[in-house]
Amino acid sequence: MTVHHIGFYILLVLVTIGFIVVIFPFYSAVFWAVVLVVVLYPAHSRIEGLVGGKRNVAAALSVVMCVCLVIVPGILVLSALAQEASSLYQRLDRGDIDIWRALTQAKATLPVYVQVWLDRLNLEQQFTDTDTDLSSAMMEGGRFFATRAFSLGQNTLEFLIGFGVMLYLLFFLFRDGRALSLMIRRAIPLSDDHTRQFSAKFASVVRATVRGNIIIALVQGTIGGIAFWALGIQPALLWGVLMTLLSLLPVIGAALVWLPVAVYLALIGAWVKVVVLVVIGGLVIGLVDNLLRPLLVGKETRMPDYVVLVSTIGGISLIGINGFIIGPLFAALFISVWDIFISERDSASLRSE
């Protein structure tokens, strides 16, 4: 390798790093544009066939489809969620919701020896004294939700710019997706067979992760939110969205929300609500994953629950909310790449024999 080749490769790496740094402020917009295109590209192909292969028209219609099916409903839910979170914080701040009184009523239903033990913990001071760590933490939690709600309005310009970038990328990724995919395949320093297998795995993993996990989480969260609304547990929308997010975590998922609520209802003696909530949470919400996941995800790309759990939590801790997708995505790609390696090694061993 000559000095000129080495210098060119160094320049290539530096320019690539510089480009990544430039677009990094909009990485979420770029990421979600790529995810939406990969997931909805089969539908775009059908639209392109219906309009006679007119790429610009098909891309525009596909963008409209994304806006109507994904973006607009998401914005409406986030707006309603922000209002409910702000309202909940204001009720807590005014004292309309007395947490200690509710806990006192629940404590009265417990055995005497349990009440004596709880009295020794001096929990009343922890809840009523504003100087305590517990009280401060609860107020900070409410203030966090309220701040997030109000920041939606304060960061409107930033949101609109990111939203515009995503829509702009969506159009060109739909229109030029095949050419870009071919160019990336040619640029990747792998053999044609490796590149083809890796590309196929990447597309199938993204579709399975988004289509499977997101849709299942939405169904479970919707069922839980409706159940909370029907039982008069407010704010139902806030709990439903929380269950949707937690449903991305296998095994535990939505139970982190409905199970503590069921315990509280049992402590205050609302046994009919307890039975209804346990049946819906334990049976209906629990069966959704078992029924829908094989249909939406399939056996090929399904990962062990512990891998999904660890990769999801790790992704969130590293990059925030996008980690719900990126964490399991990288875990699935990691498993897929090693599957390819093991398959080729076994094939080579059989040929050598």
Tokens of 56: 């610009």
Q: What is the pLDDT of residues 264-304, one digit of tens each?
A: 777 777 788 888 888 888 888 877 777 776 666 655 556 77
CB-based contacts of 210, cutoff 8 Å, min separation 6: 35, 38, 39, 325
Mean pLDDT across 245-263? 78
Work out the end-to-end distance of the chain between its first and last CA atoms, rounded to an integer number of angstroms.
36
Q: What is the pLDDT of residues 55-78, one digit of tens each?
A: 899 999 999 988 888 777 777 777
Instruction: Answer for the pair 31, 322: CB distance below 8 angstroms, yes or no.
Output: yes
- Which amino acid is present at 153? G
Q: How far is CA 75 from CA 36, 79, 81, 100, 113, in A?
A: 16, 6, 10, 35, 50
How many angstroms separate the CA atoms of 243 and 255, rounded? Answer: 8
- Backbone conformation region of residue 277, classed left if phi is above 0, alpha if psi is from -120 to 50, else beta: alpha
Identify the pLDDT of residue 57.
92
Tokens of 60: 């525009």
Mean pLDDT across 171-185? 85
Mean pLDDT across 83-95? 67
Q: What is the pLDDT of residues 112-167, one digit of tens each?
A: 666 666 666 665 555 555 444 444 544 555 554 455 544 544 456 777 788 888 88
Question: Length of the chain, please?
Answer: 353
Identify the pLDDT of residue 294.
67
pTM comes to 0.66
Provide the total of helices (H) and of strands (E) in the chain, helices listed first.
Answer: 17, 0
User: HEC profile for 174-194?
Assistant: HHHHHHHHHHHHHHCCCCHHH
How many angstroms separate the CA atoms of 118 and 267, rounded? Answer: 14
Q: What is the pLDDT of residues 327-350, one digit of tens each?
A: 877 887 787 778 778 887 887 777
The residue ranges of every structural domain in the chain are 22-99+136-187, 191-345
How many angstroms separate the CA atoms of 322 and 347, rounded? Answer: 37
Identify the pLDDT of residue 12.
86
Identify the pLDDT of residue 130.
47
Residue 44 predicted with pLDDT over 80: yes
Q: What is the pLDDT of residues 1-22, one digit of tens each?
A: 678 778 888 888 899 899 888 8
Identify the pLDDT of residue 156.
63
Per-residue buried b or exposed e for 33-72, using 16+ beta carbons within 10 Å of the residue's own CB: bbbbbbbbbeebeebbeeeeeeeeebbbbbbebbeeeebe
How many angstroms separate the CA atoms of 44 and 32, rounded? Answer: 16
Radius of gyration of the chain (CA): 25
Q: What percent of the chain has pLDDT over 90?
A: 4
Instruction: Answer for the pair 60, 171: CB distance below 8 angstroms, yes or no.
Output: yes
How many angstroms separate the CA atoms of 96 and 86, rounded? Answer: 14
Q: What is the pLDDT of residues 100-119, one digit of tens each?
A: 566 666 666 666 666 666 66
Q: Label residue 171 by pLDDT band (50, 70, 90).
A: very high
Residue 39 predicted with pLDDT over 60: yes
How many angstroms separate the CA atoms of 92 and 83, rounded? Answer: 14
How many angstroms separate the CA atoms of 45 and 61, rounded? Answer: 11
Average pLDDT, the chain: 76
Identify the pLDDT of residue 321.
72
